[in-house]
Structure 1
Amino acid sequence: MPRLWFINKNQDELVQLQRDRFYFNWREGPNRSQYSTYDEIYRKFSQHWTLYREFLAEMGIGLAIRECELTYVNHISHEAGWTAMSDIDKVMGRMTWQSSKDGFLPAPRSVNWQALFDLPADKGRLSIKLQPAFRGEKKEQILLFELSAKGIGSDRSDKGVDDWFETAHEWIVKGFEELTDRDVQRSVWGKER
C-alpha cells in the first residue's frame, strides 16, 4: 500500500496510512485553528483507529500492534524571550551556554540537543530534541522542541494501548514542564499552574 493521507476540510487533522503504520496528526492549519487539547485529539484518534480496525476486520486482514507513538512538536519563536542561540537558557532553563572571559569558544551559532529517557515498566522511551529551524514563507527563526514517546509495553489490548498513551502523555507534559522556563510557560503558552 502506498502512503495515503486523509486531510479534513480545515486542513488541521491528518490521518496517514502506510503498509505498517496508522498515524493521526493534529497540526496548525492555514486557518490557524485553536490549539486542541490532548483529550480532544485522543478522542478523535480513537474514533479513526476504531473505524480502521473495523475495516480491516471486514476485509479479513489481521492486525498486530508493534509500537505506539505520541509526539508533540513545539515551535518556539523569539516572543518566548530568546534572540540568539546563547539565549536558550531564557526559554529552556536547564540548557545553557556559558561563555567565560578566558574561554576560547564564542557563543554557538547553532545548537542541537537530544536526550533519551526510559519510560516506566518497560513501556518504551521518551526522546527529546531541540534544534534551530525556520518557519513559514518569511523564514522566521524558531527553536523546534520535539518530545516523542515510542513503545508499547507488554499489554497490547485496547486498555493497554490507552494506558500506554496516558503514560506517554504524562511523560511528555512533565518533561516539557521540567525543561522549559516557568515564566515562559505562563507568558507564552498560558500555563496556569
Structure 2
Amino acid sequence: MKDRPKNLPEFSNPPLDEVVIGVQFSALPGYSSVLAKDVWGLYKDDFPLIQEHPPIEPTFETFGGMGPQQSVQFRFGPSQLNPRLWFISQDQNHLIQFQEDRFLLNWRKQANGNQYPRFEGVSENFESNLLKLEALSFNGQKNALDINQAEVSYINFIQAEDYSKINSWIKTLDFSGINVESMNINFTEVVNDINKKPVARLFHELQPVVTKNGKVKAVRLILTYRGQPAGNSVAYAMNFIRQGREKIVNRFSEMTTKEAHKVWGEIL
C-alpha cells in the first residue's frame, strides 16, 4: 500500500459519506450480457450481492471552450449498452459497478460502524479488482483496457441546523441575514498541469439534504476530479486518480473553516 502524501490535510473524523473511484474505457471486445456471470465470478467471494441498473452513457472531458461531452451516438430504440451491474459486499460498505465500458468502486459509510479504510485502502482495492477484469478473456479475446477517462469523487455530509449559518462550515458561502430554505450550487474548475495544459475538471456540487421530519438539515458536498489520464493503461489511470485525490483533499480543506476542522479532528 502506498503511503499517504506528506503535508496533505487529514482529519480523524471527517464528514465523509462516500468515495468513488472509476475508469471509462473502450468497450471490452467479445463481451456481451450473457458473459456477466464470468465477471461476477471474479468478485463474488468478496462481493456476493448483485443488482442490475441502467448503464451510464460515455462521457468525455473536452477543453478549448467546451464542457464535458457525452460521446456522439446515433441510436434507435433502447440503449445499445448492456446493463450496469452492482456487486456489493456483505457489509454493504463496498460496491463494484461494472458495465462493458466502465469500472467503478464505491466505499459507502454504513450504520455498521466499519471504519473508512482511507484512500490508500480504497484505491488499492480498486486497482487489484480492475486488474482482475483486465486479465479476464471473453471468447478467447484478451481485454487489455484502453482507458480514456478516470475519476475520483469524495461525497461529504455536513450537518447544518440552519442553512443561513452554513458559512460556519463552508467559508465560500455567506448567507448571513437570509432565511435560506434550500440551496443547490454547482460549478466546475479547469485543472492545468505544470505546462498550463488543461488535464481535468474539478466539479463542485452543494446539495441540500433534509430528513423526512424536517428536523435534520445538512449539505451534501461532492467534489469530483475527472479527465483523461496521460496514457491508456491502469498505471496511468491510478496516477491520475492519486493526483485527483490530492486536489480534492486540498480543495476541501481550503473551502471549509478552521472551526469545522476542529470539529472534524484536524491532525496537525
Pick aligned residue for 1:127 from 203, 206, 218: 203
Q: Find the counterpart in structure 2 of residue 9 from structure 1.
A: 90
> 1:98 Cα shift?
3.5
Which amino acid in structure 2 is aligned with residue 4 of structure 1?
L
Pick aligned residue for 2:236 from 139, 157, 160: 160
Where do residues 52-131 of structure 1 align in structure 2 (5 Å cutoff)? 52-56=133-137, 59-62=140-143, 63-77=145-159, 82-99=160-177, 106-121=178-193, 122-131=198-207
SS at match of 1:119: strand
**Structure with the larger RCO, 1 or 2 (CA within 8 Å, 6+ apart):** 2
Pick aligned residue for 2:216 from 134, 140, 148: 140
Which amino acid in structure 2 is aligned with residue 171 of structure 1?
K
- Aligned-residue sequence identity (percent) comes to 26
Q: Does structure 1 residue 191 correspond to structure 2 residue 266?
A: yes
Q: 1:136 to 1:2 in 2, by over 3 A?
A: farther
TM-score, normalisation: structure 2: 0.62
Q: Which runs of 4+ in 1 moved over 6 A?
A: 136-139
Which amino acid in structure 1 is aligned with residue 99 of structure 2?
Q
CA RMSD, 1 decimal: 2.2
SS at match of 1:67: strand
Q: Find the counterpart in structure 2 of residue 27 from structure 1.
A: 108
CA distance in 1, matches of 2:179, 2:213: 28
> 1:166 Cα shift?
1.5
CA distance in 2, matches of 1:92, 1:56: 48
Larger displacement relative to structure 2 (126-135 or 8-17): 126-135
Q: 1:159 to 1:108 in 2, by over 3 A?
A: same
Deviations 1:50-107 (Å, cap 9, x if unpaired)? 1111114784154321211100111112xxxx321111101001211143xxxxxx42
> 1:180 Cα shift?
0.8
Deviations 1:27-54 (Å, cap 9, x if unpaired)? 0134132122010100100111111111
The answer as to whether partners of 2:205 and 2:221 remain within 8 angstroms in 1 is: yes
The answer as to whether partners of 1:123 and 1:151 remain within 8 angstroms in 2 is: yes
TM-score, normalisation: structure 1: 0.84
Q: Find the counterpart in structure 2 of residue 102 from structure 1.
A: none
Alignment coverage as a number of residue pairs: 182
Deviations 1:90-135 (Å, cap 9, x if unpaired)? 1001211143xxxxxx422112222211122222100011121135
Larger displacement relative to structure 2 (59-68 or 13-22): 59-68
CA distance in 2, matches of 1:18, 1:116: 27
CA distance in 2, matches of 1:131, 1:109: 12
Deviations 1:148-168 (Å, cap 9, x if unpaired)? 111123322333212201210
SS at match of 1:128: strand
